[in-house]
Structures are given as C-alpha cells and as structure tokens.
C-alpha cells in the first residue's frame, strides 16, 4: 500500500497502490501522490512522467470515509473554510501545481471521481480497452472539486463535458476516445508498453522546448484573452530561443547529426 515512484532514464513512473480500496485516495496517499508530483516538477533529470494504478484499477476517487467525509461534516456545520486552508489541500489531482513537464496517464481500469480529476491534469491519455470512466460525485451529493468542472469544458467543449458532468454515467474507453478525453485505446497487456513508447518519444526531444511548449499552452489556456496568451507565448519564445539547446538544435540540423540536449 503506497505510491510507488520509479525512474528509468528521463522517465518517471508513478503507480497508485491501494488496491483493497480500488486505489481510492485517502489522506496519506493524497500527500504521497502530491509529493511524487513535486519530485517530478523539481528533478531536472525527469523529463516525462507516467501515472497508472496497480492491477485493474487506475483510481476510484477520493476515499469517501477518510478523505471526503471529514470535509463534508465540517462544512455541514457552517464552519468557515479559508483560502489558506484551500491552498493547503493536497494537489494529488495536479491542481495548481504548475508542472510543465508532460504527464501521461495509463488508465488500466476504473477511473472514477477523483480518478477523473487526476486524468484531467494529465497531457497524454491512454487507456486499456476495458477501462471505465465516470464523474460520480453527483451520485453522492457532491461536485467534482479537484479541477474537473474547471478543466473538462475547456478541454472537451461544452456538450461533451456536460454529458460527463451532469449525468454521472459510467462510460467506456471507446466512448471516452470519441469524446476526446483519450488519445489512444489499447489492449490491456500493451498499456504500459504504449505509455512508455509515448514517453520515450517525448523524452528524446529538447527538454526546454517541450516544457516551454507546455508552459505556453497551459498558461495561455488560462489567460483572459488571446492577446494575453500571445504575450505569454512571446515571453516563452524569447527564453527558449536564447537557450544553449536552441543553438545546439540548429547547429545539429546544419551538420546533419543528432543533437545532444543539455537542458540549458
């Protein structure tokens, strides 16, 4: 029972291991998963991360008894919930962490409630053909408050997002692909292999360029206007084009050789 962290070259693999609760996240695992994301963010050797779950479960959400229940009981008494307390909530769903390294989800089974919140914070999403999905919070009198109501309409468009958010239906990997929630559906036995292949493809690219691309896209997506997004892109452009890697990339092209990236 843990959050496992493995590193192979420039790729990190984060695995949720609480199968007795279908990989539901309790406070201990929320803190450990948040710590794993901070490690991905802060370790310069890590260029890409993959997140998955053990056996046939990705993540069945926040544990209703130990993680969600105490918050419901407290707010039900009318006690104030401060912005400071909100900022201290574990960010296991990749909420407000500003990680500009690509994160790949390998959804190997049920992806429900908090699992969907976590999925929404990733960049590339693969799922096994037998995976299932649901924003299940309304079944329990709750809303998806780990980023899903903010992200899904922006990521999928309004009709697809509302189908998922308002019906609380369980749907298949094939339907998730149709809605634009996934990049690829594959055989269960191929899932991690395919996720690693995607990760290696990205890890071979110039790390500052990849991270700059995600930073420009993510911050631009949050911007209030296209003009603001273009200003963000301009700032990132100047930073990346001034890097050693940019000079190495253009020289390597001219010299017809493979570039050697230093992340500088």
Query: What is the per-residue pLDDT for 86?
Result: 75
b/e 21-30 (16+ beta carbons within 10 angstroms → b):
bbbbbbebbb
Query: What is the per-residue pLDDT for 74?
Result: 81
206: nearest Cα among 99, 50, 101, 98: 101
* Average pLDDT of the chain to the nearest whole number: 94
Query: What is the per-residue pLDDT for 160?
Result: 97
Query: What is the per-residue pLDDT for 79?
Result: 79
**What are 69-86's pLDDT values in tens digits?**
888 888 888 877 788 777
Q: Is the pLDDT of residue 89 over 90?
A: no
Among candidate residues 6, 79, 117, 233, the one labeled active-site is 117
Query: What is the per-residue pLDDT for 234?
Result: 97
Query: What is the per-residue pLDDT for 72?
Result: 84
How many Å apart are CA 194 and CA 2, to the nearest integer? 24
Q: Is the pLDDT of residue 168 over 80?
A: yes
Query: What is the per-residue pLDDT for 1?
Result: 64
Please indicate whether residue 166 or residue 72 has the higher confidence score (pLDDT). 166
Q: Which domains does the chain have, with CATH numbers?
A: 2-203 (3.90.226.10), 207-255 (1.10.12)
How many Å apart are CA 55 and CA 13, to the nearest integer? 15
Among candidate residues 137, 174, 233, 248, the one labeled active-site is 137
| Interacting residues of 158 by C-beta distance below 8 A, sequence separation 6+ | none
Share of the chain above pLDDT 90, in %: 87
30: nearest Cα among 63, 55, 56: 63
E strands, 113-200, in order? 124-128, 132-134, 171-172, 184-186
Query: What is the per-residue pLDDT for 36?
Result: 97
Q: Are strands 2-8 and 11-17 parallel, antiparallel or unpaired?
A: antiparallel
Q: Is the pLDDT of residue 30 over 80?
A: yes
Q: Is the pLDDT of residue 65 over 90?
A: no
Q: Is the pLDDT of residue 106 over 70?
A: yes
* Known catalytic membership, residue 45: no
Share of the chain above pLDDT 70, in %: 99
Bridge partner list, 8: 11
* Known catalytic membership, residue 117: yes
**What are 187-235's pLDDT values in tens digits?**
999 999 999 999 999 999 999 999 999 999 999 999 999 999 999 999 9
Which band of pLDDT confidence, cut at 50, 70 and 90, is reported for residue 88?
Answer: low
């Amino acid at each position: 029972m843990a959050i496992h962290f493995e590193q192979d070259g420039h790729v990190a693999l984060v695995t949720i291991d609480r199968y007795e609760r279908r990989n539901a996240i309790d406070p201990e695992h929320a803190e450990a998963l948040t710590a794993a994301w901070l490690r991905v963010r802060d370790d310069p050797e890590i260029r890409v991360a993959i997140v998955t779950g053990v056996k046939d479960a990705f993540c069945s959400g926040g544990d209703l008894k130990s993680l969600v229940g105490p918050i419901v009981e407290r707010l039900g008494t009318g006690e104030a919930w401060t912005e400071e307390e909100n900022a201290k909530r574990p960010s296991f769903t990749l909420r407000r962490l500003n990680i500009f390294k690509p994160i790949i989800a390998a959804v190997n089974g049920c992806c429900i409630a908090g699992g969907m919140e976590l999925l929404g914070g990733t960049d590339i999403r693969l799922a096994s053909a037998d995976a299932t999905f649901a924003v299940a919070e309304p079944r329990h009198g709750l809303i998806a408050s780990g980023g899903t109501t903010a992200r899904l309409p922006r990521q999928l468009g309004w009709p697809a997002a509302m189908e998922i958010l308002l019906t609380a239906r369980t749907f298949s990997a094939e339907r998730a692909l149709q809605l634009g929630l996934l990049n690829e559906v594959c055989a269960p036995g191929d899932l991690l292999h395919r996720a690693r292949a995607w990760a290696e493809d990205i890890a071979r690219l110039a790390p500052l360029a990849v991270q700059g691309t995600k930073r420009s896209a993510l911050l631009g997506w949050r911007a209030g206007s296209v003009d603001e997004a273009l200003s963000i892109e301009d700032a990132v452009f100047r930073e990346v084009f001034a890097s050693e890697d940019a000079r190495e990339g253009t020289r390597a092209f001219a010299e017809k050789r493979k570039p050697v990236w230093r992340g500088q």
